[in-house]
Every structure is written in C-alpha cells, then in structure tokens.
Amino acid sequence: MLGFGLLLQQRFGLEPCPMCIVQRYALLFIAIVALLAGSIGKNKVYFSAWMLLLVGAGFGAFVAARQSWLQWYPPQVATCGRDFYGMIENFPLNRVVPMIFKGSGDCSAVDWTFLGGSIANWSFLSFMLFAAIAMRMLWRMVKQR
C-alpha cells in the first residue's frame, strides 16, 4: 500500500493531503512492527507485536474513516491549508494534531477511485483487515494460554 501511494504521487502527480500522510505513517508503523516481530521470532514478543499492530490499524482506520467522511460530506468552505510539514515546522505539536484531524479542502477531494471507492475508502478497508487479523491472532494466543 505504501508503494502504491508513492506510485500515485510520483507517477501520476497526486499530492497527499495531511490525512493521507498520517495514514502512510500508520502503515509504516504497522510494517516496522511486523518486520521487527518477525525477525525476533519469540513468542513473548508476538503478543506485544499483535497488540501494537491492532493499535496502529485502529488509528489508521480512524484517520481513513474521518477522511472518507470528509469526502462524503465536504465542508461548506473548502480551503487549502498548509501541508503537513509546514504545519509541523510552524506550529507546536498540540496545535498540529487538531489541525491534521480537522482536515482541509485537500482532504475532502477525491482525486482517484477504484471500483467506486476512493483512496481513503480502500485505506480504511485495508486497516480494518489488518485489525481483524491482529484480533484473530490475539484471540488464538489468549485461547492457547
């Protein structure tokens, strides 16, 4: 998914909005946790890793759902705000986080669709799949104990 997002950005010129960037960070977090847990390969690590994956997938699903909601019900006044890095450089973190989740005109734009779903819709489904897999694995681990 990260590779596809980069392909859309580099090859087709679709610039990510702040919420898209946060979703990319959530995907990156999930990938890093999965790679670390897989490389360590100890049963004690797996439970913590699945919990972290569930938290990361839940966070990513929340952001993707919020962006999907903004796309279905765009704000009355669409303003193009600062990009994510511009917000981080110019504002303290306690102001940046609400600005990211508030969204901007860019976050409500649907620039690409596949089978009727926007990038945010597909991202939400992917995060929910990751969360379902993590919950299933956690359930199996708890059941085995």
Q: What is the pLDDT of residue 76?
A: 63
**Nearest Cα to Cα of residue 83 among 5, 20, 37:** 20
CA distances from 51 to 4, 26, 30, 57, 140 (A): 26, 14, 11, 10, 13
Q: Tell me the one-letter amino acid at 38.
A: G
Q: What is the pLDDT of residue 132?
A: 92
Q: Which tokens sit at 62?
A: 């929340």
Per-residue model confidence as pLDDT tens for the chain (145 residues): 777 777 767 787 777 777 778 888 899 999 898 888 878 877 777 878 888 899 999 999 998 888 787 777 766 655 545 555 566 677 777 777 676 655 444 666 667 666 866 777 888 899 999 899 888 888 888 788 7
Rg (CA), the chain: 17
Report which DSSP code applies to 1: -
Q: What is the pLDDT of residue 112?
A: 62
Looking at domain 16-144, which of 3.30.300.30, 2.70.98.90, 1.20.1550.10, 1.10.3720.10 is its CATH number? Answer: 1.20.1550.10
Q: What is the pLDDT of residue 101?
A: 55
Half-sphere exposure of 137 (CA within 13 A, CB side): 18
Q: What is the pLDDT of residue 128?
A: 92
Q: What is the pLDDT of residue 105?
A: 47
Q: What is the pLDDT of residue 83?
A: 55
Q: Please, which residues bridge with residue 118 across strands?
A: 113
